[in-house]
Amino acid sequence: MTPDVRIRAVQAAEIVRLRAALLGFVRRHGERRITERAIRWLQHVDGAKLRSPGTVMLLALALRRDRAPVPDARPLIGLFAAGDYGLSASFLVVHRRARGSGIGRTLLKTALRLLGRLYGRIALDNAASLAVAQAAGLIPVRRTFTPKGAPAVVVAGGDWTEEEVRQCARSVF
């Protein structure tokens, strides 16, 4: 991870102010892989939800434009969010020109450290996301399907339980 990137949590009091920029970032850099339910979660998450156990939203920010991993980029170069430890929503988006720099891995590791456990569902054809999840310490624990019916895998890390894995596999995010 480059020292010119800072990871920070979105605070409950700032979600309304940041929401439009975060949604724009997801739409521009999410490669259409972020589910509609996850986008709706971001559209509606409020300060109370951000303060609830198992919920986190992390930003990767370029500290200096001239030394950022993405030249001339806006300061936001990565976003990770999880609701209910990833059971109701989880998604990771990294600026397309910053991919491969370790930002995704760092965001996931930070979330795992803060939450203690983390779940996600990744389409099997998304090799980059599977590699990032595994590099951050999440392991594939169950085969499932995406909301559109494509083969997927549930990944889990930290102090995960089989019951929550089953819940993640059944969810429609």
Phi and psi, residue 161, nearest 5° = -125, 155
Q: Is the pTM of this model over 0.95?
A: no
- 151 CB-contact burial (10 Å; exposed 0-12 / middle 13-18 / buried 19+): exposed
Instruction: Quote the number of domains for the chain.
Output: 1
pLDDT in tens, 102-126: 999 999 999 999 999 999 999 999 9
Which residue range forms the structural domain that includes residue 148? 5-170
CATH number at residue 106: 3.40.630.30
pLDDT in tens, 154-168: 999 999 999 999 998
Which of 47, 125, 129 has the alpha carbon at shortest distance from 90?
A: 129
